[in-house]
């Protein structure tokens, strides 16, 4: 139909007239003045090259690249089953592992008797390997296994997103337990959780992490923090099943203890600096009070000996 729509009706009429002139109305020998065959006019479909009539025709053949691709898709398609199997003989495999080469129609009859499907599991073999099974049930089980595999893989992969959970010193124990359970669920799904606590200014906010620590210390690892602010503090935690971080993760209890130990370290460094300063003062060359007194006693002894000789 596309060919006839592309060729206009006047061109078809002209083509018929030219055909009649050339092959029907040729002059006979008795004709006194045979008329010459006229050259087609300028609008003739055969004007110019003989193949110019096909210039107005659109060909709908598919490109070769598409044909090759379509063929490859057919070759790598889904499993063929039942009447779609074309091989005259197949290697039929039963449930107990035994196999035999049988005609295709016999294998189909067995499958129909059992109200199951004949599935071609290996079409490249000679003859193709087929098996009688409930195809849709097997596909459903396969999809479920793939979903479980993808789910387990996602659970073992640490996500890049960070969730945030906030609480304060006024949070009650019941609400704090709910927040701890929420943090556990988020960590099990692979999220990093930013635990943010707010309190008063100039307050040791790391102490406020202790109540929630007792609820999730066995499954929690600190990835960053605690970071102190004026009125709030936060730390980023994640589940222990993902292992320690490359930067050296630690448990939440150790993180809070480390922060409290920083104050003790400052005090000890202050005491040690005082002792070092005292020792450096003693070694600087100045005489102490005891050394001055001992020098005075020796001077008196020398003075007494001098007076005795006189």
**pLDDT tens readout for residues 178-236:** 988 888 888 888 888 888 888 877 777 778 887 887 788 788 888 887 888 888 888 88
Domain 76-137 and domain 162-263, same fold? Reply is no
* pLDDT score recorded for residue 273: 47
Residue 78: CB atoms within 10 Å: 7
Q: Phi and psi (nearest 5°) for 162?
A: -120, 125
Minimum mean pLDDT among 37-51, 160-174, 202-216, 295-309: which range?
A: 37-51
Strands 220-228 and 232-239: antiparallel
Q: 162-263 in CATH: which number?
A: 3.30.110.10
Q: Cα separation of 179 and 166, whole Å?
A: 8
Give the Cα separation of 124 and 80 in Å (integer). 12
Q: What is the 3-state secondary structure (H, E, C) of 209-237?
A: HHHHHHHHCCCEEEEEEEEECCCEEEEEE
Question: Which comes out higher in pLDDT, residue 185 or 285?
Answer: 185
Instruction: Please give the pLDDT value at position 235.
Output: 84
For residue 288, give the DSSP letter: -
Least confident of 63-72, 147-156, 272-281, 299-308: 272-281
244-260 pLDDT tens trace: 655 544 554 454 455 44
- pLDDT tens-digit series, residues 132-141: 888 888 889 9
Q: 76-137: what CATH class?
A: alpha beta
User: Are 47 and 40 in contact, with CB atoms under 8 Å apart?
Assistant: yes
pTM equals: 0.38
In angstroms, the CA 29 to CA 32 distance is: 8
Cα distance between residue 187 and residue 225, in whole Å: 17
Task: Give per-residue pLDDT as tens, 154-172.
Answer: 766 777 788 888 888 888 8
Residue 270: what pLDDT? 46
Asked if residues 193 and 163 have their Cβ atoms less than 8 Å apart, the reply is yes
More confident residue, 111 or 303: 111
| Exposed e or buried b per residue across 197-236, where buried means at least 16 C-beta atoms within 10 angstroms of its C-beta | bbbeeeeebbebbebbbebbeebbbbbbbbeeeeeebbbb
Q: Which pLDDT band, with edges at 50, 70 and 90, does 45 fall under?
A: very low
| Domain positions in the chain | 2-56, 76-137, 162-263
């Amino acid at each position: 139909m596309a060919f006839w729509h592309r060729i206009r009706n006047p061109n078809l009429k002209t083509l018929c007239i030219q055909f009649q002139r050339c092959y029907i109305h040729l002059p006979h020998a008795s004709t006194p003045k045979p008329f010459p065959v006229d050259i087609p006019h300028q609008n003739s479909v055969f004007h110019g090259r003989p193949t110019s009539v096909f210039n107005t025709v659109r060909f709908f053949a598919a490109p070769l690249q598409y044909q090759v691709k379509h063929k490859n898709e057919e070759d790598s398609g889904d499993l063929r089953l039942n009447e779609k199997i074309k091989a005259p003989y197949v290697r039929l495999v039963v449930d107990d592992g035994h196999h035999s080469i049988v005609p295709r129609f016999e294998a189909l009859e067995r499958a129909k008797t059992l109200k199951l499907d004949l599935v071609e599991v290996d079409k490249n073999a000679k003859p193709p390997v087929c098996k009688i099974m409930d195809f849709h049930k097997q596909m459903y089980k396969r999809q479920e296994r793939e979903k479980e595999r993808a789910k387990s893989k996602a659970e073992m992969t640490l996500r890049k997103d960070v969730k945030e959970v906030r609480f304060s010193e006024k949070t009650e124990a019941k609400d704090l337990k709910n927040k701890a359970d929420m943090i556990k669920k988020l960590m099990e799904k692979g999220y990093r959780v930013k635990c943010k606590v707010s309190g008063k200014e100039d307050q040791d906010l790391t102490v406020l992490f202790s109540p929630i620590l007792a609820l999730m210390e066995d499954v929690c690892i600190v990835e960053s923090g605690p970071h102190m602010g004026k009125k709030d503090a936060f730390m980023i935690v994640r589940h222990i099943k993902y292992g320690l971080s490359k930067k050296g993760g630690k448990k939440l209890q150790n993180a809070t203890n480390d922060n409290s130990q920083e104050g003790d370290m400052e005090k000890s460094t202050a005491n040690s600096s005082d002792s070092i300063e005292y020792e450096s003062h003693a070694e600087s060359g100045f005489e102490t009070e005891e050394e001055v007194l001992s020098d005075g006693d020796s001077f008196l002894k020398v003075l007494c000996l001098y007076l005795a000789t006189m």
